[in-house]
């Protein structure tokens, strides 16, 4: 089948997210200018460069209170955020942190998570997550929106500090069988990275 992206696809549900999958989940913690700690998951997330390490995520959609999402507002106001990686064990806390709560309520508390101070940024990190990437804002780019109700913000951040739980390091490498990162598929589906294989690149 082929469909133009701006025309009806005729399927039961929009297949776009299921097609571009799996997507890692960036669990982004920020600090509001009033000191409220904020945490939310973003699956339009990935790493884009190594030197320096850089990540991006799409903070899209309407805020229920009519403004951009708290995460984008906090990153814009403070210029900092932390990406906490989500593992299989943290799936329920990650999901709980996606619920909309008022701007002055912290999702850390709602999801039963422990905020830890970061080394290089003021935004807190999630203690329960084995990987925390401390980031400084590079740029927020507002992308075209095809809906009057949706604002699409691409947030790009340079990773300036990386925390790794020693438990996921084996022989100097990340042991994926212990790490078990969670990733997002389409619809309401997820997957866990548990199986890997290696392949050499051609010269």
- The footprint of ligand FMN (CB under 6 A) covers 25, 38, 40-44, 58-61, 69-71, 95, 98, 100, 184
CA 36, chain centre distance (Å): 19
Nearer to ligand FMN, 14 or 200 (CB): 14
Residue 100 or 170: the one with the smaller Cβ distance to ligand FMN is 100
Tokens found for residue 162: 């990386």
Rounded to a whole number of angstroms, the minimum distance from the CB of residue 3 to ligand FMN is: 23
Which residue, 63 or 169, is less far from ligand FMN as judged by CB?
Answer: 63
Closest to ligand FMN by CB, 64 vs 175, is 64
For the bound state, the minimum distance from the C-beta of residue 101 to ligand FMN, rounded and expressed in Å, comes to: 7
- The SS3 assignment for 56 reads strand
Contact 80, 31 (CB under 8 A): yes
Question: CA 153, CA 145: separation in Å to the nearest integer?
Answer: 10
Rounded to the nearest 5 percent, the helix, strand and coil shares of the chain are: 15, 35, 45
Cβ proximity of 132 and 126 under 8 Å: yes
């Amino acid at each position: 089948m082929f469909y133009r992206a701006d025309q009806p696809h005729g399927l039961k549900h929009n297949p776009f997210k299921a097609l571009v999958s799996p997507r890692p989940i960036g669990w982004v913690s920020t600090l509001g200018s009033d000191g409220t700690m904020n945490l939310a998951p973003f699956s339009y997330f990935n790493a884009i460069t190594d030197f320096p390490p850089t990540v991006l995520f799409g903070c899209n959609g309407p805020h229920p209170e009519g403004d951009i999402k708290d995460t984008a507002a906090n990153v814009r106001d403070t210029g900092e955020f932390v990406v906490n990686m989500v593992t299989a064990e943290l799936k329920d806390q990650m999901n709980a942190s996606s619920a909309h709560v008022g701007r002055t309520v912290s999702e850390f508390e709602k999801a039963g998570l422990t905020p830890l101070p970061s080394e290089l940024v003021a935004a807190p990190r999630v203690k329960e997550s084995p990987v925390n990437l401390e980031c400084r804002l590079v740029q927020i780019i507002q992308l075209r929106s095809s809906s009057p109700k949706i604002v699409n913000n691409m947030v790009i951040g340079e990773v300036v500090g990386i925390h790794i739980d020693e438990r996921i390091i084996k022989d100097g490498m990340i042991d994926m069988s212990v790490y078990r990162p969670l990733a997002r598929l389409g619809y309401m589906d997820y997957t866990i990275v548990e199986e890997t294989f290696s392949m050499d690149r051609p010269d």
